[in-house]
């Protein structure tokens, strides 16, 4: 398997810059909270 280092490093840097920017303006917590709301498991009890 050949790793495409240039593509991997580029994607990682873009992700890191986006995280830093969102954290600075306070939207990172909002995004994390929305992920929690949409991805949590719901337990339904049947009587």
Q: What percent of the chain has pLDDT over 90?
A: 13
Domain range for 9: 5-45
* pLDDT given at position 29: 74
How many separate domains does the chain show? 1
Distance CA 30, CA 9 (A): 26
pLDDT at 20 over 80: yes
Q: Hey, what's the torsion of the CAs at 33, 38, 39, 41, to 10 degrees?
A: 110
Model's pTM, two decimal places?
0.54
Mean pLDDT of the chain: 78
* pLDDT given at position 10: 93
């Amino acid at each position: 398997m050949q790793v495409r280092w240039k593509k991997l490093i580029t994607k990682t840097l873009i992700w890191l810059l986006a995280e830093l920017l969102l954290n600075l303006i306070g939207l990172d917590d909002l995004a994390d909270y929305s992920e929690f709301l949409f991805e949590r498991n719901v337990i339904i009890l049947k009587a």
